[in-house]
């Protein structure tokens, strides 16, 4: 049996603008996803995914031989988007995830033609360590683990499947906070020391809903404006967020960051929308509208959110490595 593991992610700065080259600060989480691959009789590829409680939420059986044949006859990797998957998926309980998986695997086969033996007669079991609605990267950790298994470039797998900036893949393989930037179409990842003395006053609050990153990215590209100036400002904020030792300054940076992204995307900040009377600072993380937010305050002060029905609250130390 082969085993692989990838960390979840949180984007602390440069949401949306990271897609256009802004410098982002991101952190891997202590919650991730594991994958085990074992050999079974026959040539079919079986994939099962389990949630954090061990309940099966996805199962699919794939015709690996037809998958290999298709990958061998593709003119280029972009043609994968036009592949007819009807003959590849033998059975599944969820069509959309099955099709996404098939495309990822065909991409992997195209990028690494020598791995056909890796997918024939295999059972793959994926185990999430966090609830699927937390938005910590159930897709990115899956792509990362598949890339580890198939010895392929995770960024290329992501590009031809779910899409996105790729910062989540950087987090998947990192053991520390990092900065991430797309330079000439390629990821630039640097580990950083981010250990603020006030981290006991940083909390992650879940908004009780999952935001679809792909729809958020689409909306951003349709509505964005004045990005060049915003990217410069966000880069300065990112660099200062990393080094500041003062909570008051950190809060100012969070607030300014929210105002910039609100202006660029034409969206209302989460504080104005939901928490106008909160005394601390609040910042959206990743695509706005769901998943986790970052809030400054005290452990006792988190009762503000609990009283409003937001029960899932993790301290910085509970969430990070």
Alpha carbon of residue 295 to chain centroid: 20
27-45: average pLDDT: 98
At the second CATH level, the architecture of 2-189 is 2-Layer Sandwich (3.30)
Every domain of the chain and the residues it spans: 2-189, 195-319
**CA distances for 300 relative to 91, 254, 305, angstroms:** 50, 21, 10
The answer to whether domain 195-319 has CATH 3.30.70.890 is yes
The percent of residues above 70 in pLDDT, for the chain, comes to 100
Give SS3 for 116: helix
* pLDDT per position as a tens digit, 201-232: 999 999 999 877 767 777 787 777 779 999 99
pLDDT for 305: 98
- 77 — pLDDT class (breaks 50, 70, 90): confident
* C-alpha–C-alpha distance, residues 64 and 269, integer Å: 47
- Chain-wide mean pLDDT for the chain? 94
* pLDDT per position as a tens digit, 294-312: 999 999 999 999 999 999 9
Does position 84 have pLDDT exceeding 90, yes or no? no
Which single residue is written with the structure tokens 């599944």? 92
Give SS3 for 199: helix
Rg for the chain, CA atoms, rounded: 20
User: If you ran DSSP here, which 8-state letter would residue 320 be given?
Assistant: B
Q: Where are the alpha helices (DSSP H) in the chain?
A: 64-72, 95-111, 116-119, 138-150, 154-159, 167-172, 213-223, 227-243, 247-265, 270-274, 303-307, 316-319
Which comes out higher in pLDDT, residue 84 or 316? 316
- Write out the DSSP string of 267-315: ---HHHHH-TT-SS-EEE-SSTTSSEEEEES-TGGGHHHHHTT---EEE
pLDDT for 264: 92
* pLDDT per position as a tens digit, 231-268: 999 999 999 999 999 999 999 999 999 999 999 988 99
């Amino acid at each position: 049996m082969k085993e692989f593991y990838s960390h979840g992610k949180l984007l602390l700065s440069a949401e949306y603008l990271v897609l256009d080259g802004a410098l982002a600060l991101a952190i891997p989480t202590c919650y991730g996803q594991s994958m085990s691959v074992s050999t079974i009789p026959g040539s079919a590829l079986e994939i099962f995914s389990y949630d954090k409680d061990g309940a099966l939420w996805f199962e699919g059986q794939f015709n690996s031989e037809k998958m290999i044949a298709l990958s061998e006859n593709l003119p280029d990797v972009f043609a994968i988007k036009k592949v007819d998957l009807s003959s590849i998926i033998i059975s599944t309980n969820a069509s959309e995830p099955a099709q996404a998986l098939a495309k990822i695997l065909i991409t992997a086969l195209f990028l690494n033609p020598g791995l056909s033996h890796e997918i024939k007669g295999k059972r793959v079991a994926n185990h999430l360590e966090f609830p699927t609605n937390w938005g910590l990267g159930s897709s990115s950790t899956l792509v990362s683990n598949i890339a580890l298994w198939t010895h392929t470039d995770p960024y290329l797998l992501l590009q031809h499947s779910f899409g996105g900036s790729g910062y989540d893949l950087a987090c998947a393989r990192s053991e520390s906070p990092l900065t991430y930037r797309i330079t000439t179409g390629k990821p630039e990842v640097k580990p950083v020391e981010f250990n603020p003395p006030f981290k006991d006053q940083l909390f992650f609050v879940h908004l009780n809903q999952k935001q679809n990153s792909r729809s958020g990215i689409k909306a951003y590209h349709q509505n964005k404006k004045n990005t060049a100036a915003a990217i410069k400002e966000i880069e300065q904020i990112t660099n200062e967020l990393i080094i500041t030792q003062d909570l008051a300054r950190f809060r100012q940076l969070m607030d300014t960051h929210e105002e910039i992204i609100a202006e660029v995307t034409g969206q209302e900040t989460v504080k104005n929308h939901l928490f106008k009377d909160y005394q601390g600072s609040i910042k959206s993380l990743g695509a706005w509208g769901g998943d986790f937010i970052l809030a400054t305050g005290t452990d006792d002060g988190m009762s503000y959110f609990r009283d409003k029905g937001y029960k899932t609250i993790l301290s910085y130390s509970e969430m990070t490595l």
